[in-house]
Amino acid sequence: MSNLTDDNQHYNGVLLEKIYNDIRTILETVVPIKARVDRIPKIEEDIAELKNDIKTIKSALKATNIDLRSHGHFASVHNYQR
């Protein structure tokens, strides 16, 4: 009977070691993923800022084109490129 208990303890030890190794492998995978996920809010903020910057640039470009057209410069530049 003592031999059976020793076998059970050995089996439990092997099983616990396997579980420990499996958990460590999972953590090694999850920790870098969490680091990436933690950066998502900052990336979203950066994208929103870029969108606003692009809108500003588009607006300025439209205004510049309107000014050029109203002063006749756009036509001469356009004809020059042909």
CA distance readout (Å), 36 to 29, 33, 41, 42, 57: 12, 5, 10, 11, 30
Distance from C-alpha of 61 to C-alpha of 43, rounded to nearest angstrom = 27
Residue 67 confidence (pLDDT): 85
Q: Residue 76's pLDDT band (boundaries 50, 70, 90)?
A: low
pLDDT at 81 over 80: no
Position 71 confidence tier, pLDDT thresholds 50, 70, 90: confident
The predicted pLDDT at position 82 comes to 46
* Domain positions in the chain: 2-81
C-alpha to C-alpha distance for 64 and 11, rounded to whole angstroms: 79
Q: Specify the pTM.
A: 0.53
